[in-house]
Structure 1
Amino acid sequence: MSQQTGEASKIKGRFRNSHKVYGAGLGDLVGIIKAYLGAKRSAPSPKSAVPLQPITPAELARPQARLYRLGHSTVLMYLDGKWLLTDPVFSERASPFQWAGPKRFHQSPIAIEALPDIDGLILSHDHYDHLDTAAIKALAARVKHFYMPLGVGKRLIRLGIDKARITELDWWQSVQLGTIELTATPAQHFSGRGLFDRDATLWAGWAIHGEQARVFFSGDSGYFPGFAEIGERLGPFDVTLMETGAYNELWRDIHMMPEESLQAHLDVKGQLMVPIHNGTFDLALHDWFEPLERIRALAWDRSVKIATPIFGEALSLTLPGSGSDWWAQESAISTGVDAREKGRAPAAESSMVGIAES
């Protein structure tokens, strides 16, 4: 296992954030419990089937640089002739148990066994909605190499992954994958999968610099000054895969509000924003469609290019297209207001690429 260290700090064996230490005390937990008990939502989950675009073998054979949202923060990307996969979660629940915990709203637009051989599997951190052990085991024989922040490698070694196929990086450290440079970037979050391993492993975003395109994958993060530093050191980016979902004022230090997600996109010097971490699991107190509805309206107001492709829909990394607000019908049913009207955006025609541009 290749491991590089140096930037992220530790206290008593636990990693810590660079700008704000997150720790939910008893008062915070009581507030969160009260918020959940008092929450009144019109649509915590979809009332109809979430639209999917099945990814066929013929689609996978195309040579163009592109990406596909498969669900939550799972993105399949073809760049510089290599297949990359971020935070693969294919299980029915984002939980240590498959009989309890947040359940998927939709299936993946491609079965895990139908995925192409993966040149680089990229993990942002070890939470259950990002590191799915069943998916790792199912993909193990078809992944050439695994990339992750410090400490996460031990999770994979326990699953039988050879150390030689694992690279752990500290913040700001880079590794080459053919013509692609992968750099782990700071994030403001936390880690852990049990009661006693809090912050024992590192969390990170990723700068993915290819010859065909430059992509930023935020992982999970609260808004912090590190995004501006990422932009200065590693920007600009053609596309940002930016966390937009599972937010709340009670935990905004570790999950950005939509306004902050948009600002983070601008901070890292992104051109096209793709909101991720939404539409698959119920992990917060907002309606399931709210993250896309809010970020769409905010982007329109600030003249920011944003793409909201249907799960499985190809999004070109080199050519822009027109867009679709695929969640708008359910939003209108629940709120009585068309999401496109809220954002003052014209109704977009169906296309292979979901991009909204003012």
Structure 2
Amino acid sequence: MIILISTTALLSLVTIIFLQQPQFGQAASGERLERMKKSKHFRDGAFANLSYTPPLTEGYSMTGVMYNFFFKKNPRQKPLKAIPSVKTDLKNLPADSNVVVWFGHSSYYMQVDGLKILVDPVFSGNASPIPGTTKAFEGTNSYGVNDLPEIDYLLISHDHYDHLDYSTIKELKGKVKNVICGLGVGAYFEQWGHLPEIISERDWNETIAIGENIKIHTLTARHFSGRTFKRNTTLWLAYLIETPGQKIFIGGDGGYDTHFAEIGNRFGTIDLAILENGQYNLAWRAIHCLPEEVVQAAKDLNAKRVMPVHSGKFSLALHSWDEPLNEVSRLSKLNDLPLVTPQIGEVVWMNDEGQVFGEWWKIVETR
């Protein structure tokens, strides 16, 4: 009994010390916390979704989920060979071009009407605070901060490690002119060395006007946040970039709900919807869309084209690494929904709706 108590105490002490490392971030305080408390989505010390959002679907247990993760791994969770990619010179893309370049998972670079935008960059090759535990697939980590031009706007959807990467954010210091993120997330940026004056923390349904012609709307998503054991102390966001010529929806992470239709009704036709498609499971479908829900969300959004992301780089669920793309591709054909499925680094020309993309994932030999 003495040995058990001593071991438990030692493990607790090690955990407490480990959680003091800067990659875990710092909690909001002072004026930042007071502003969070004024949000109608902040209740009892945490943010809440519009609809009831259980951490697990009814009928599933955390014990069962953890057992499956440790003892029932899918042999095809990771690709056997390197993921194909293209090395694009991002610094010398035509200045007047409207493009998207995907870096795998949910990270991508955009040029929109002259603005250079970066979304959820993760260049460390790891989607976990513990080094080496959630490593990027071979071939998927060929881009880094040095490959980027100066960034006008960095958009962060939420604070999870596969979207807000400590080492990448540290390295971006001085290269980013403006940061937009959810309420509370700015505390991480300040701790990691970014100037407070470039950080804009937003609630759902706010609009940032950039000049006379461009707007960035911060919108509702159905998800959660947290970098330690406490959830929902910062807000998660979706975005819509609106210019005179196009509308681009950036979904971040989140489960299916009525907010997609509400956004579609508000903004009309959306030219390109970038939607999470991957790392899903029936056990947590409230916080991550299944492929059929991705297609339905695209319909609700009145999307002309859909770019599925949140796959192709990390394995964070038990499905086969290529299942998300196989399924959304099959379902999109049944629903006559054009998909945008570039290789990592391949340039997507947003003004070219006829651009053709191959099913690159089908040529990768898998386990």
TM class by smaller structure: 0.7 to 0.9
Equivalent-residue separation in structure 2 for 1:188 and 1:57 (angstroms): 32
2:43 is aligned with 1:11: yes
Deviation per CA, 1:303-347, whole angstroms, max 9, x where unpaired? 11111001111111111212200011237x66xxxxxxxxxxxxx
SS in 2 for 1:294: helix
> Structure 2 matches for 1:1-358, cutoff 5 A?
8-24=40-56, 28-37=61-70, 39=72, 41-56=74-89, 59-61=92-94, 63-178=96-211, 179-196=213-230, 198-320=231-353, 321-330=355-364
Q: Deviation string for 1:224-261 (max 9, x for gaps)? A: 11111011112321001100000000000000000001
Confirm or deny: 8 A CA contact 2:134 2:314 kept in the other structure.
no
Residue 103 to residue 310, structure 1, CA distance change in 2 (3 Å):
closer
Question: TM-score when scaled to structure 1?
Answer: 0.87
Shift in Å, 1:265: 1.1
Question: Which residue identity lines up with residue 53 of structure 2 in the other structure?
Answer: V
Q: Deviation at 1:99?
A: 3.3
Task: Give the Å deviation of 1:46.
Answer: 1.3
Greater CA drift, 99-108 or 299-308? 99-108
C-alpha displacement at 1:138, in angstroms? 0.8
Change (3 A) 1:57 1:312: closer
Q: CA deviation at 1:63?
A: 2.8
Q: CA deviation at 1:262?
A: 1.0
- Pick 1 or 2: higher relative contact order, CA cutoff 8 A, min separation 6: 2
Distance in 2, matches of 1:208 and 1:56, equals 24
Tell me the distance in 2 between the aligned counterparts of 1:121 and 1:247. 26
Between stretches 43-52 and 97-106, larger displacement belongs to 97-106
Query: How far is 1:169 from its partner?
Result: 1.0
Give SS of 1:92's match.
Answer: coil
- Please give the secondary structure, in 2, of the residue aligned with 1:263: helix
**Do the aligned residues in 1 keep the contact of 2:125 with 2:141 (CA within 8 Å)?**
no
One-letter amino acid matched to 2:209: Q
Size of the aligned set, in residue pairs, is: 332
Q: What is the letter of the counterpart of residue 191 of structure 1?
A: S
Q: What SS does structure 1 have at the residue aligned with 2:61?
A: helix
Inter-partner Cα distance in structure 1 for 2:60 and 2:184? 30
Post-superposition offset of 1:161: 1.0
Note if contact 1:5-1:169 (Cα within 8 Å) is conserved in structure 2.
no
Aligned in 2, Cα 1:125/1:285: closer, same or farther, shift over 3 Å? same
Name the SS of the counterpart of 1:306 in structure 2.
coil
Distance between the aligned counterparts of 1:52 and 1:31, measured in 2? 37
Instruction: Measure, in 1, the Cα distance between the counterparts of 2:237 and 2:40.
Output: 10
Give, in whole Å, the separation in 2 of the partners of 1:235 and 1:169. Answer: 23
Per-residue CA distance 1:203-233 (angstroms, 9 max, x = gap): 1111111234210010000001111101111
Cα distance change of structure 1 residues 141 and 191 upon mapping to structure 2, 3 Å threshold: same
What SS class does the counterpart of residue 240 from structure 1 fall into? Answer: strand
Q: Which segment is superposed worse, 24-33 or 234-243?
A: 24-33
The farther-off stretch of 30-39 and 320-329 is: 30-39
For each residue in 1:105-153, what CA deviation from the matched residue of structure 2 results, as whole angstroms up to 9, or x when unmatched? 4344433112011000000000000000111111111101000111111
Larger radius of gyration: 2
- Residues 261 and 300 in structure 2, CA contact (< 8 A), matched pair in contact too: yes
CA 1:85/1:58 → structure 2, altered by over 3 Å: closer, same or farther? closer
TM-score (structure 2 length as normaliser) = 0.85
Q: Which runs of 4+ in 1 moved over 4 A?
A: 1-8, 24-27
Aligned partner letter, 2:297: A
Label 1:253 to 1:58 Cα distance change in 2 as closer, same or farther (>3 A).
closer
Q: Deviations over 1:144-180 (max 9, x none)?
A: 1000111111111111111110001111111123332
Kindly indicate whether the alpha-carbon contact (under 8 Å) linking 1:307 and 1:323 is maintained by their aligned counterparts in 2: yes
**What is the Cα deviation at residue 4 of structure 1?**
8.7
Following superposition, the deviation at residue 20 of structure 1 comes to 1.8
Q: Give distance in 2, aligned partners of 1:183 and 1:287.
A: 34
Unaligned runs of 5+ in 1: 335-358
